Amino acid sequence: MENENGMLQQIKLLLQEELRPIRQDIQALKQGQELLVQEQAGLKQGQELLMQEQVGLKQGQELLMQEQAGLKQGQELLMQEQVGLKQGQELLMQEQVGLKQGQELLMQEQVGLKQGQELLAIELQAVKAKVIDIDDKLLRLSIDVENDIKPKITTLFDADKQRKEQLDRIESQVSRHDEYIFKRLK
């Protein structure tokens, strides 16, 4: 009976040892998923800041366009000062080039953000695949326990029950013999 209890303890310890790395893997995956969620939130905040900056640049561009309209009016009024107006036009053109370059940089940053989001999506899919794999392993392990280990434990409990019943019968027989002997001694 002690051997059976020892065997049960050994089986229990073996199961705990087999489950420990799986539990650790699950914990690591949860932590990785939390980090991905945090990183995604940071990227969203960055994207919002870039969008706000883009709005500011558009407003600046609108102001420059209004300024350009004012310069055209001034150009019409000051036709005699063509040289000055040409210099003003050159400055505006340089500013436009700078704005276009800024817009191109923003567009490149947007592309980078989109690529980052795509990478995050791919990584999230990989994490989901690992979780599914772990779920499959847990299912297989529970099926193994159900089909292989549980019948063995049931058999052990049945054998233990039969031994107890046999000991009870022997004890009742011994008690009857003891009573018989005590009656004869009296």
Domain boundaries of the chain, sorted by first residue = 2-185
158 pLDDT higher than 80: yes
**What token pair was written down for 34?**
């939390």
**Which helix (H) or strand (E) element contains residue 90?**
helix 82-144
- Evaluate if residue 1 carries a pLDDT over 70: no
pLDDT for res 84: 63
Distance CA 160, CA 103 (A): 82
Q: Are 30 and 153 in contact (CB under 8 A)?
A: no
Q: What is the DSSP letter of 79?
A: G
Percent of all residues in the chain with a pLDDT value above 90, rounded to a whole number: 48
The answer on pLDDT for 153 being more than 70 is yes
- Res 85 pLDDT > 70: no
What is the C-alpha separation between 4 and 34, in angstroms, rounded? 44
Judge contact between 156 and 4, C-beta under 8 A.
Answer: yes
Q: Which long-range contacts (CB under 8 A, 24 or more apart) does 33-39 make?
A: 33/124, 33/127, 36/120, 36/123, 36/124, 36/127, 39/120
pLDDT average, residue stretch 129-152 = 88
At residue 26, the pLDDT reads: 86
Task: Name every residue whose Cβ is closer than 8 Å to that of residue 67 and which is 6 or more positions away in sequence.
Answer: 92
pLDDT tens-place string over residues 26-81:
899 899 899 988 999 998 999 999 999 999 999 999 999 999 898 788 767 767 67
